[in-house]
Chains A and B, each alone.
Chain A
Amino acid sequence: MATIELDRLVKRYGQTTVVHGIDLSIQDGEFVVLVGPSGCGKSTTLRMIAGLEEISGGEIRIDGRVVNNLQPKDRNIAMVFQNYAIYPHMSVAENIAFGLYRSKLTKDEKRRRVEQAAETLGLSQLLERRPSALSGGQRQRVAIGRAMVRDPAAFLFDEPLSNLDAQLRTQMRIEIKRLHHRLGTTSVFVTHDQVEAMTMADRIVVMRDGHILQVGTPLDLYEKPVDVFTARFIGSPTMNLMPASLREGGAELSLGGTIEVPRSSPKTSDILVGVRPQDLVPTAGARGLSVTGTVAVVETLGSETFVHIENSGQTIIGSAPGRQIPRIGDKLTLHAPAERLYYFDKVTEKALTAP
């Protein structure tokens, strides 16, 4: 078990910088998820922690020890790859045992460890199989088994679930989470799927273009996104953003209507008002936001229904609870309570904070 600290970590490929001096401190036993759009530097960061990629600047410390110049094998970390990276020419048992390649345990000890890992992962019946005779989920479990047997200081996962189908992904997500509870090993998990991030993380790290935008618990990020990017990235369907102009004592929506804005001192008068579809419902509240539009699309999920309404070229997504399903073409007014609204500076896209 270990803490991991990134200190002004930089990665450059020739002239291009892909990681711009990020700071991050991961607690012992924490499950941290790096999330962000494709190409934002998640894998690069993870690979620098693993030692597979050279560090161009800054420092990485594992358990307080600077590991910048250590070989991957000397960092005592284990990594699970997107394509499993289990060896096709070896049996499941041999693959798992490979995690113990450098360990000085006796043969019997090793076998016992492999069997233990296999049992934890439900692979006991498959130990003699070749990977080609396994399903995708089983292969990924073998890869996790190989990482597990060594009892490493930290697990690194690089999109380990993205090759699995939706149902299996949900299942593996839960299994990995369970495993983490049981072993308590510090884990860094990379994904670009916000649902994975939300459901698995103790803390989420949102990255974009080689920068960390925000670090926080899933609920932190959902409730208090620091900017438009995080606000739209977390939550599904994405948050609605409506342009508005600040006036004395309130904001005037470009869609019509005014809302009260909590006291704040933005530099500009152009702002964006954000509201999550789950908070925008047909029942009228005392005060807050009201938008009216024509129903264009209705998405019925059973537990809830998402309604897309159109008004002067803008599409706003709201939700209709239960079985009140609006009809396409109807006029519909949706309301959201004032405390469920988000405010952003339109130019800098930063959240406006009430002083």
Chain B
Amino acid sequence: MSKAASFEGLPMSRIRPGRILAWTLLFIGGVIMVTPLLFMLSTSLKDASQVYDLRVIPETPTLDNYIEILGDGRFTRWFVNSMIIAVIVTLSNVFFDSLVGYTLAKFRFRGRYIVFVAILSTLMIPTEMLVLPWYLMASQFGWLDSYWGIMFPGMMTAFGTFLMKQFFEGVPDDFLEAARIDGLNEFTIWWKIAMPLVTPALSALAIFTFLGNWTAFFWPLIVTTSAELYTLPVGLSSFAVEQSIQWEKIMTGASIATLPTLIIFLFLQRYIVRGVMLAGLKG
């Protein structure tokens, strides 16, 4: 009530043209983002005969696709694969990126700057260029078609290291020195004192890494050959090439695949927004 009143009381001149433009752009952006999701959801609720009927609300909505997909052992397997890989890679990044970032931020040693620049410069190399060496490496070590083969390129990232370094630089030395005087060893200082002080950055890193790996397609597609090792995106795409393209199945799988993302977003919304603001680079 009071809110409405205060809005009515707002003089027209307060609503500036800039504002209107911004709202319009945001609205258009929102529509562009949401429409495909809506179609995904709606297609997943149609049977095969209705797929090309472009109505948003299906004529006869059905959960058959979900029942079929969830009953299909392959799909569950892919989901679990993706989950295992994304979780392990995320934990690895949270651990190693921050360990290296901390070292670069808080210790003075010869060659520190060179190491940092070397790490940063790998940010400039596009994945497409790396895939070939990765593949050769994986094949030589016998890592092809294995979990480790899918995971190894992402176990540490230059971006994560850079992000964590920036954050650890903001941790006052006093904290670390106080702990040093109290008798903690360097590893414990990092783990017990420094890490808890950068939790916002850690959660941002964890979210980015998880989502990136959850949706990763290109490399898992290249490195895996047996269907049991597919990740969810690779598995879903394989639907597209069996006999005929089964859009309703693909969309059902995709809808289920967005669930973890959605859950993460709902629970960690606060951290994501902060994380995006903090990282300022990637979103």
Q: Does B59 contact A (CB under 8 A)?
A: no
- CB neighbours of B182 from chain A (8 A): 73, 98-99, 101-102, 146, 150
Q: Does B178 contact A (CB under 8 A)?
A: yes
Within 8 A of A (CB), among B179-195: 179-184, 193
Q: For residue B195, which residue of chain A has the nearest CB?
A: A89
Q: Does B172 contact A (CB under 8 A)?
A: yes
Interface size class of B (residues with CB under 8 A): 10 to 19
Q: Are B178 and A102 in contact (CB under 8 A)?
A: no
Q: Does B128 contact A (CB under 8 A)?
A: no
Q: Does A81 contact B (CB under 8 A)?
A: yes
Q: Does A52 contact B (CB under 8 A)?
A: yes
CA distance A84 to B184 in the complex (A): 18
Q: Are B178 and A85 in contact (CB under 8 A)?
A: yes
- CB neighbours of A77 from chain B (8 A): 181
Q: Does A82 contact B (CB under 8 A)?
A: yes
CA distance A133 to B180 in the complex (A): 25
- CB neighbours of A52 from chain B (8 A): 177, 180-181
How far does the Cβ of B271 sit from chain A's closest Cβ, in whole Å? Answer: 16
CA distance A81 to B182 in the complex (A): 13
How far does the Cβ of B161 sit from chain A's closest Cβ, in whole Å? Answer: 23
- CB neighbours of A83 from chain B (8 A): 172, 174
Query: Contacts A83-B174, A87-B175: A72 and B197 contacting too (C-beta < 8 A)?
Result: no
How far does the Cβ of B96 sit from chain A's closest Cβ, in whole Å? Answer: 22
Within 8 A of A (CB), among B137-173: 172
Q: Which of B174, B177, B197 is in CB contact (< 8 Å) with A89?
A: B197
Interface size class of A (residues with CB under 8 A): 20 to 34
Q: For residue B176, which residue of chain A has the nearest CB?
A: A85
The secondary structure that dominates the B interface is: helix
Q: Are A78 and B181 in contact (CB under 8 A)?
A: yes
Q: Are A73 and B178 in contact (CB under 8 A)?
A: no
Q: For residue B193, which residue of chain A has the nearest CB?
A: A87
Q: Does B196 contact A (CB under 8 A)?
A: yes
CA distance A79 to B179 in the complex (A): 10
- CB neighbours of B197 from chain A (8 A): 87-89
How far does the Cβ of B57 sit from chain A's closest Cβ, in whole Å? Answer: 49
CA distance A78 to B184 in the complex (A): 13
CA distance A82 to B178 in the complex (A): 11
Q: Are A81 and B177 in contact (CB under 8 A)?
A: yes
Q: Are A102 and B177 in contact (CB under 8 A)?
A: no
Within 8 A of B (CB), among A117-146: 143, 146
Q: Chain B: residues with CB nearer than 8 A to chain A?
A: 172, 174-175, 177-184, 193, 196-197
A-B contact pairs, 20 of them (CB 8 A): A50-B177, A50-B181, A52-B180, A72-B177, A72-B180, A72-B181, A73-B184, A77-B181, A78-B181, A79-B177, A82-B174, A83-B172, A83-B174, A85-B172, A85-B174, A87-B197, A89-B197, A98-B179, A101-B183, A146-B182
Closest 8 CB pairs of A and B: A102-B183, A73-B183, A85-B174, A85-B178, A89-B196, A81-B174, A72-B181, A101-B182
With A79-B181, A85-B174, A87-B193 known, 19 other A-B pairs at CB within 8 A are A50-B177, A72-B177, A72-B180, A72-B181, A73-B180, A73-B181, A73-B182, A78-B181, A79-B178, A81-B174, A81-B177, A82-B174, A83-B172, A89-B197, A101-B182, A101-B183, A102-B182, A143-B178, A150-B182
